Amino acid sequence: MTTTILIEGGTVIDGITDTPRANESVLIDDGVITAIGAHADALAHGRTDVERIVAQGRTVMPGLIDAHTHLSFGEPTGNDELFFHRTEAFSAMLSARNARKVLRAGVTSVLDADCLWNIGVELRDAIEANVVEGPRMAAGGNALMTMLGGTAGRLIADEGRTGYATVVHNLEGISQEVRRQVKYGVDWIKVMVTGLIPSVKGPEVKVWNKAEMRAVVDAAHDLSTPVVGHCRNSLSTKEAAEAGMDLIYHASYMDDDALEAVIANGTALCPTFTLLGNLYDYGERVGTNPDLLNVFKAELEVTGRAIGKAKESGVRVIAGSETGFAITPIGEWHARELEMLVEYAGFTPMEAIKAATSEAAWVMKMDGRLGAVAPGCAADVIVVDGDPLRDIKVLAREGAITEVIKAGRRIDITTPIPDRGPRPGEKVAFLATCPLTRSFALEDTNLAPKDVLTDQELSDLAKA
């Protein structure tokens, strides 16, 4: 049964133009926006079958599109927990729960480019079949890695699949894995172009050569499948763009040469500042190594300036939060990416909104049909109690999103989702959190059971 909805009296930010329109009505019928303004009012006039939403004093805008999520990850504190303490069945059920939380946060579409097992594709299909409630999904499979691994270093096995990654060894193997993933339903192929090598000091290094990257792109594009690359330095960004990758995550420390390659090849960028911002702003509260905080800040500032320059040069820049880790839990931080684009890349609030709506519809393969409040577009709409053009942070304020409509259907955002408890064996168990030296064991500290020590306090005691 379809529902006709009239949203009345709100200020419409359509996601396309630069000017909001006050006191504008939006008519939704059969999952599609059919009319705006006076035409919407005229079509709804006198009808008794129209469900009306009064939005006076509020903002009506497209549902957000988060182009970098990890719904199957389950908010792990580290890769050991993610790779070795989960089962496929439990992870699938957890992903279904996460999908509901994302939708309630006003995110009506996501690109989930890599996943545990093949859960992303299965979750997408379950949502489309109305088995699970969640956002529209563009889904990837396992991220492609070389034997050198990615951000998990030596935790990645030399062969086969580990967690969210599959290791490929040669050009033929690359093509075979791309074809296998397309066969099983992926919308995107993801490549971990950079990674951490334990024997190499410093940040991530490029672990794919040009021929290997080109092989991924050729195999995927032959099957009409786009490619996204994880690139945490400038050289990787440059070579991924030159290889023809469609989208680049992070683009960390992008220099002018890399930007020229991005522009020349029509590559889009998704900087994913939220994870870095959360680590810098709140890392001390969650036990992040203090020595890393200034590293995160520097990457934000340098990359932010480069992303701003890319935007001014006409590069498509879209929003993605990298939600799914302990530092970016599901349903909590999606809208912060818009704040970060304003703060670090010099976007206006309207530009940031477009980066999370009409500009990002492309990753869903619905460019021009999604991410906009306009006749003929999919009826994915949110109503916000506040004005994000005056304060972009309102989108992340608890309770500010008062309505979420996906495909023309109002989503229940008031009934609580029960808090998740721990599953036995899911978390890494420690025999000790620091070495039990004799001096520590025999020290007359008289610690009460209720005392909680910081990492620094534990270190000081261990050295006593």
d(CA 401, CA 395): 7
Tell me how many degrees the CA angle 35-138-239 measures, rounded to the nearest 5: 120
pLDDT at 454: 56
| DSSP secondary structure letter of residue 247 | E
- Is 310 in contact with 349 (CB distance < 8 Å)? no
Q: Do 132 and 253 belong together in one domain?
A: yes
Q: Do 168 and 309 belong together in one domain?
A: yes
Q: What is the pLDDT of residues 357-379, one digit of tens each?
A: 999 999 999 999 999 999 999 99
d(CA 372, CA 390): 20
Q: Do 358 and 461 belong together in one domain?
A: no
DSSP string, 74-122: ---SSHHHHHHS--HHHHHHHHHHHHHHHHHTTEEEEEE---STTHHHH
Q: Do 296 and 220 belong together in one domain?
A: yes
Phi-psi region of 21 (alpha: psi -120 to 50; beta: other; left: phi over 0): beta
Report which secondary-structure segment, H or E, holds 441.
Answer: helix 438-442
Q: Do 316 and 197 belong together in one domain?
A: yes
pLDDT at 85: 87
Q: Do 436 and 358 belong together in one domain?
A: no
6 domain-assigned: no
**What's 111's domain CATH number?**
3.20.20.140
Strand pairing partners for 52? 6
Q: Do 320 and 449 belong together in one domain?
A: no
Q: Exposure string (b/e) for 140-160, b if CB count within 10 Å is 16 or more?
A: bbbbbbbebbbbbeebbbeee
Q: Longest Cα pair distance anywhere in the chain, in angstroms?
A: 84
Q: Do 360 and 211 belong together in one domain?
A: yes
DSSP string, 18-43: SS-EEEEEEEEETTEEEEETHHHHHH
Q: Do 348 and 464 belong together in one domain?
A: no
pLDDT at 451: 47
283 domain-assigned: yes
pLDDT at 2: 64
Closest CA to 139 of 82, 190, 176: 190
In which residue ranges of the chain is pLDDT below 50? Answer: 446-451, 458, 461-464
pLDDT at 260: 98
453 domain-assigned: yes
Q: Which of 313, 345, 365 is the last residue of a domain?
A: 365
449 domain-assigned: yes
Number of domains within the chain: 2
Residue type, 128: E
Phi-psi region of 453 (alpha: psi -120 to 50; beta: other; left: phi over 0): beta
pLDDT at 459: 52
Q: Which of 345, 365, 385 is the last residue of a domain?
A: 365
* Report field, pTM of the whole predicted structure over 0.85: yes
370 domain-assigned: no
pLDDT at 460: 54
412 domain-assigned: no
10 SS3 class: strand
d(CA 440, CA 2): 68
Q: Do 172 and 314 belong together in one domain?
A: yes
84 domain-assigned: yes
Residue 141 φ then ψ, to 5°? -110, -135
Report which secondary-structure segment, H or E, holds 381.
Answer: strand 381-384
Q: Which two tokens stand for residue 308?
A: 């701003």
Q: Which of 318, 344, 365 is the last residue of a domain?
A: 365
Residue with tokens 């970098």: 68
Q: Do 314 and 445 belong together in one domain?
A: no
Residue 148 φ then ψ, to 5°? -70, -20
Could you give the angle at which helices 171-183 and 210-222 cross, rounded to 10 degrees?
A: 30
Q: For the chain, give percent helix, strand, coil, nearest 5.
A: 35, 20, 45
Q: Do 248 and 155 belong together in one domain?
A: yes
Host domain of residue 445: 432-464
72 domain-assigned: yes
Q: Which residues contact 434 (CB under 8 A, 6 or more apart)?
A: 440, 458, 459, 461, 462
